[in-house]
Amino acid sequence: MTVFAVLTHGDSRVFRIAAEALSPCQIVVHVDATSKQDEYPRAANITYVEDRTNVKWGGFSVVEATEKLYALALQKCASPDEYIVLLSGQCVPIRPLADLEALFAERPGVLYCRAGLVLDGYEMNERRILREWHFDRFDARSRGLRGRGAAVARRIKQLMTPQKKKSDFAGFRMVAGSQWTALTAAAVEAMMSDVGARSRLARLLRHALAPDEIYFHTLIHSGDWASRTTSAPPQPKGDKRTADFANLHHIDRSLTRYLSPDELRHIGGSLEFFARKAKGDDPQRLASVVRELTSQNGQG
């Protein structure tokens, strides 16, 4: 069965609802080091990463947390053909689990890792990796005087750091997409086993902007696995947004707007099995809608 790998922080209520709908599949979870893990549910099919990372928005710490998740997820996979689906703690399933398993059975080995080329002449795409953004050093989500001070310090550090050259990335097909992918265990194992490529790419992207949308995609698209992806061969990213590269998700183009429980009912794309973002303000209502949408008899 599919293994779900969840990156989460803050509100545990949405995760509880998603975990119920995803059972009995194995679920591995990384709870941000700044969050209270004891607020999250315990169950036989849920395993938590013990060595937690303090995740900073836009920083490489997201990659580090994801690598820990993948390592744990591989331990739960019964075969190399099983899928590892990456979710956030604000994602909820919106179709029956059986539908997702049927898709994977019908299209074995396909990697749901859409991406676009970022060294494509489009300034913002190239700035993401050629400039140093330092989000792990200076928290982008700090507020008030502390936040303004961090922003100024980060900008000064950025101006003092030389830009990288495109030639520094030789040997990699630099691409970006939505971090919420679905990869086979075989692909994840191969990716994680290539220590040389991972180490070199990690050095290059250590201070990139949102490297979690670049790092894993680049490793997949730079090797033999590229031909198995849903965007092979990748085209220039241009002005497309992250949401345009959604894999099995419905993602609002703003990337920040929360979807209400009633809005979840109107999502119906053929490859949309999950929705992001959901909020746990009314957990009973959200749970009721998710149960309805994911039950075998709940559609229509």
Rounded Cα gap, residues 34 and 272, in angstroms = 31
- Residue 287: enclosing H or E segment and its boundaries? helix 283-294
Cβ atoms 253, 246 nearer than 8 A: no
What does the pLDDT look like over 65-97, one tens digit per residue? 999 999 999 999 999 999 999 999 999 999 999
Backbone angles phi, psi at 56, to 5 degrees: -110, 130
**Residue-wise pLDDT tens digits, 139-167:** 656 666 666 666 666 666 667 678 999 99
Provide mean pLDDT across the span 16-35.
98
Q: What is the pLDDT of residue 270?
A: 75
Cα separation, 32 vs 238, in Å, equals 32
Tell me how far apart the alpha carbons of residues 110 and 127 are, in angstroms, rounded to a whole number. Answer: 31
Q: Output DSSP code: residue 37.
A: G
Domains of the chain in sequence order:
3-128+164-294 (3.90.550)
pTM: 0.93
